[in-house]
Amino acid sequence: MMRQVLLVSLLSLGCQPGGLRPIAGELEVSSRSIDFGQVYTGTEVEQSVVLHNRSRGERRLSFSRTGPFSSVDGVQVLAGGSELTVQVRFAPAEPGEATGTLVISDASQMLEVTLVGIGVQVPPCSASGPCQRSVFDPTLGACVESLAADGTGCSNACTTSGLCSAGTCLGLSLDCSDTDLCTVDACDPSIGCIHPPQACAAPTNPCKAARCDPALGCVESDVRDGTSCGVADCTSAQVCLQGQCKVLPVPDGATCAEATPCQGEGTCQQGLCERPAATELAEAWHYDFPGLKFSFRGVTDALQNLYWLECPSAGACSATSYSRDGALRFRTPLGQVGLTASQLPYLLAGDELISANGSVIEAVASSDGAPRWSYTLPAALPGAPDQADVQVIAAMAADQTGLTLIVRRALGQQEARQSLVLKLDLGTRATVFSHFHDALVDGVVSDESSNLYFTLIPWYRQAVPTRPNSLVSLRATGVERWRWVAPAATPAAVARPIAVFNGEVILEGGEVRATQDGSVRASAPAGDVQDHPLMGPSARMLVRRPPSNDRLEVIAMDRGVATPAWEALVTTLHGSNAITDTVATLGGGVLVASGGSRQPNVLKSFSSLGVERFACVIPGNVPGGAMVHQPVAMLDGRWAVVESRYLMPAQLRVFEVPGELRATRGWLGRNGSPSGCPRPVP
């Protein structure tokens, strides 16, 4: 809280020829100033000072005040050698700084006590539902919610002509049937009818495939004849014929191993699988960052163009875009000067590339880089109790309803201690909602319905370790959906959210919670789970370091459970280790690169069942981990990564990975969608 400290003068004055004569040691006051701090308008705070009569005679004291303060009135008699406690009250009628003076005097002496306080506007409170009432509690400094009385009229986007009953709005329900058996008919009280796709269970017969018919619902059909349904080698193979798994002999010349980006396909020859020798990955093109600071987050658009920010050692930064084939599309100078961090937030929203640096946002057209608009955080942010000395946009999230900013606020010379969740309309930049928090907001993600999830971390955790973290979810309109507060005994139990999809949100470390109410769904197996999970329609994949600390593994967990469906080795650890972000591939697989101090960097692909499909050496690098935790970009048939090498310029390298395609639904990489929003692809 920003407070202005004012000095207080204590005057002991008496009459003497030619002026005032100081008298010491007779009437004394316990405090030379009273600082009421921040007080909400419409409320009152009381503090006291004590007057001591050090003389033997009684004193007849009168009191007066200036400013929005009140105290005792009239004349008070203070006997010799006694003391008097005086209550002073501060009741601000409007926000802003207030100062005043309490004057205590008698015929021979005058005391002045300086009074200071800050009036703070009571923040608006939004109820989480039509049968809830939210009222601000100045004692707690937060909105307190209660149930509306039974019988209170209510309505929402799903219910009309309703009455409240035990906090639930009961009335006429909206008919959300769309007569399509391939969708789930549901209603969200904030937006109305929704129709998420119906998930059809996978058949137990490997030669059958699930599909959905709008009139019949989930049905099964035969897979293509010749599809593998079991073990195969160069003598016999289990393949599907007319929906049944059959064992057939394998002739010479049959394909026994699929082609990979670094090795041709294998063919059966006299009962053995023969294939050409493996090669290194082929580089399609590269781009050097000599003498530049840059922010590369793997952001791509639907046409597979790449986007990043780069800054010279002096001068303005530029929004930069290259095509899939390495052609410069634009390099537009921005008003931003210099990067303060290697990963400044930027993302694609609609047809604009939006970037932030400090308190400024700039947007350029994604087609040609033409400047579109800029926005600077106002000094007085809506919802904030005061003006901060420093305001920095720490993160951004975008969806079809607007642009959400996470603003870190610092007062004076202090580090950032407060946050504001501010949502803007992308068309007008008008404020949609603003939430102030006397804590740090971390890990903002957005789900398919544009609900937000983030963690609140009290800045004074080290000084007050019992103050817990909180996991919070907001609707797209800013109304709080739910809040889960860690038990005071384990305040660090709530980590930041890092991925969300299909009704689940993953927290850093691997804990999985339900998006509906924040309840725990599952926890990843013991070990150090890295911070780049993937989420598909039916499963989640994470990279973890087991307790033995000697290997890195990809683990897959089916939705709703914690037991691994499969585990696959990424690399064995030898000294320092490098690992890139993971990226989801079409068919439920994953791409990830790794290396170490004793081994070269290798790009590995795992299938949806955890089978290693290939491991291709990345050319032109040296062991030692040049790609540690680097973001990656997945293009159709190409994979891009930045190598940050010791004493060498950083380099964006794009490699050929024929046949590898990016997944089309889910949390596909570190930022969820390729646009970097961060949110999943629905």
**Using an 8 Å Cβ cutoff, are 328 and 322 in contact?**
yes
4 compared with 311, residue with greater pLDDT: 311
The least confident of 119-123, 138-142, 167-171 is 138-142
pLDDT (0 to 100) of residue 219:
93
The pLDDT tens digits of the residues spanning 610-642 come to: 989 999 999 875 544 465 557 899 999 999 998
Share of residues in the chain with pLDDT > 90 (%): 40
Which domains does the chain show, CATH number per domain? 13-120 (2.60.40.10), 251-276 (no CATH)
pLDDT for 14? 35
Q: In the predicted model, is pLDDT for residue 341 greater than 60?
A: no
Mean pLDDT of 464-489: 78
pLDDT tens digits, 534-551: 999 888 998 887 776 677
Task: Say if residue 571 is exposed, middle or buried (CB neighbours under 10 Å; 0-12, 13-18, 19+).
Answer: buried
Q: What is the pLDDT of residue 343?
A: 62
Task: With cut-offs at 50, 70 and 90, classify the pLDDT of residue 384.
Answer: confident
Give tens-digit pLDDT for 351-363.
999 999 889 999 9
Chain segment 175-227, per-residue pLDDT in tens? 899 989 998 888 887 778 888 888 888 898 999 999 999 999 999 999 999 89
- pLDDT above 70 coverage of the chain, percent: 88
Residue 569: pLDDT band with limits 50, 70, 90: confident
Range with the lowest mean pLDDT among 570-574, 605-609, 622-626? 622-626
What pLDDT, on a 0 to 100 scale, did the predictor assign at position 33? 86
- In tens, the pLDDT along 42-51 reads 888 999 989 8
pLDDT band at 4 (very low <50, low <70, confident <90, very high): very low
Average pLDDT over residues 59-81: 86
pLDDT by residue (tens digit) across 89-114? 999 988 888 889 999 888 888 888 99
Spell out the SS3 assignment of 251-291: CCCCEEECCECCECCEEEECCEEECCCCCCCCEEEEEECCC
Q: Region 255-268: what's the mean pLDDT?
A: 92
**pLDDT given at position 10:** 32
The tokens describing 153, both together, are: 């009229």
Cβ neighbours around 233 below 10 Å, total: 12
Cα–Cα distance measured from residue 365 to residue 623, given in angstroms and rounded to the nearest whole number: 40
- Pick from 126, 122, 187, 201: which is nearest to 159 by CA? 187
Q: Residue 24: what are its φ and ψ, rounded to 5°? A: -110, 150
Residue 377 has pLDDT above 60, yes or no: yes
* Confidence label for 298 from pLDDT (cuts 50, 70 and 90): very high
pLDDT of residue 463: 44
- Rounded to 5°, the CA angle 542-447-445 comes to 65
Q: What is the mean pLDDT of residues 59-68?
A: 87
Order of strands across the sheet with 346-349? 346-349, 352-357, 360-365, 371-376
* CB neighbourhood size of 313 (10 A): 8
Mean pLDDT of 72-99: 87
Q: Would the pLDDT of 41 be above 70?
A: yes
Q: How many CA atoms lie within 13 A of 338 on its CB side?
A: 3
Kindly tell me if the per-residue pLDDT of 13 is higher than 70: no
Q: Are strands 346-349 and 352-357 parallel, antiparallel or unpaired?
A: antiparallel
Average pLDDT for residues 466-478, to the nearest whole number?
A: 83
Q: Is 23 a residue whose pLDDT tops 50?
A: no
pLDDT band at 260 (very low <50, low <70, confident <90, very high): very high
Query: What's the alpha-carbon Rg for the chain, to the nearest Å?
Result: 33
Q: Quick one: tokens of 113?
A: 């006590």
Mean pLDDT of 266-283: 93
Confidence of residue 460 (pLDDT cuts 50, 70, 90): low
Q: Is 493 helix (H, G, I), strand (E, B) or coil?
A: helix
pLDDT of residue 346: 94
pLDDT in tens, 401-428: 899 999 998 877 677 788 999 999 998 9
Window from 283-287, 362-366, 505-509 with minimum mean pLDDT: 505-509
| Helix, strand, coil percent content, the chain, rounded in steps of 5 | 0, 55, 45
Mean pLDDT of the chain: 84
Sequence-separated (6 or more) residues with CB below 8 Å from residue 279: 262, 263
Do 409 and 417 form a contact (C-beta atoms < 8 A)? Answer: yes
Residue-level pLDDT at 6: 29
- Average the pLDDT over each of 72-76, 114-118, 254-258, 672-676 and give the range with the smallest value: 72-76
Residue with the bigger pLDDT between 478 and 559: it is 478
Q: What is the DSSP string of 518-568?
A: --EEEEPPSSEE-S--EE-SSEEEEEEE-TT-SEEEEEEEETT--SEEEEE
For residues 271-295, average pLDDT: 90
